[in-house]
Amino acid sequence: MPTLMTETTSLPTPLGGTLVNRVRRPGHDFDPASLDGRPRIEISERTYADLELIATGAYSPLTGFVDEADYASVIERMRLADGTPWSIPITFPVTREDAARLSGTVVLTFGGQDVGTLDVQEHYDARKAWEAREVYRTEDAAHPGVAALYAQGDVNLAGPVTLFEVPRGAFPMHHRTPAEVRQVIEARGWRSTVAFQTRNPIHRAHEYLQKVALELVDGLLLHPLVGTTKGDDVPATTRVEAYEVLLEKYYPQARTLLSVYPAAMRYAGPREAIIHALSRRNYGATHFIVGRDHAGVGSYYGTYDAQEIFRTFTAEELGIRILRFEHTFYCQSCGQLVSPRTCPHDSSHHLVLSGTKVREKLRAGENLPAEFTRPEVAEVLRRAYTRAD
């Protein structure tokens, strides 16, 4: 159940006071010939996602990849050097060889195409073991976020960025910048909006949480993460299709907005929950749902660590209200979706399916229980797993 309720509020101020906009179009905002002869570097999919999130204001107040002072401050105390709450350093890692040749304005490429620039103001060594211990709470290379960190270059470049064009990708109808989401919220007259982060298809327990939250606020921003995830996560295209069929039949259209969140998944658990909340503030949300093991993986984090970490900051600092929910499930004896707060029965009465069990059933062509997921969603997933096999 949510532990915070609030009166209707207005659209929140972006973190730092201003929504950052570093989108600069060649031929409109500057002469592309000015980039001739500049050094170039091909960036990873995750760095491209970070570039977009910085340039469009999702990561306000960041205007570029963090310098060493912010890097150390974020790792050590979950704040930028100026004291602004921030929990994961957004860095631009390169090899030492690349660092030696990159200075001044560097053109960033993705898939061989120019996508933006980085004005290099600083080079500094990444402190990977320290970053892993503090941000991911482990140095275990089996952790996907730690593995990605260890695989990166050893030098971080810092400086302001520009993005040439917002990459709408595979979801042009649902890919909105923070400014565009804010425009929709304002146009619909929502004075309070709850955001829901997901990297998985929505099952009935998720639906229950979202609809309980909708009893408290004006609108729901369903904001699925569609950047890089683990190889065994459900692909973003399948997830978005599942959201579309679900919202069409079971959600109030005027009070729900599906818009994708282009971030890559870091699996940093509690620390990532903070970034997810702060960025949703920048998108215009007044409330953010944090459930069981938010952004977690394996057994690296406690069940409700991602809720407890928010107590590190004041409500004024966060600027977004956190709705804390306990584990929700279908109780066969209660005959409805419940939580430990409302259900008197032990686990033998509960319907709980692991992700592994769900995948096994789908691959075998079996039906998923209607108490677990809507049949329309199950059909989308079944088709996807049939194609994959």
Residues serving a catalytic function are: 199-200
Q: Considering only the C-alpha atoms of the chain, give the largest distance between any 2 of them, rounded to a whole number of Å.
A: 70
At residue 307's C-alpha, the angle toward residues 16 and 229, to 5°, is 80
Residues 94-119: b if buried by 16+ CB within 10 A, e if exposed:
beeebbeebeeebbbebeeebbbbbe
Q: How is residue 22 written in tokens? A: 């570093």
CA 137, CA 252: separation in Å to the nearest integer?
40
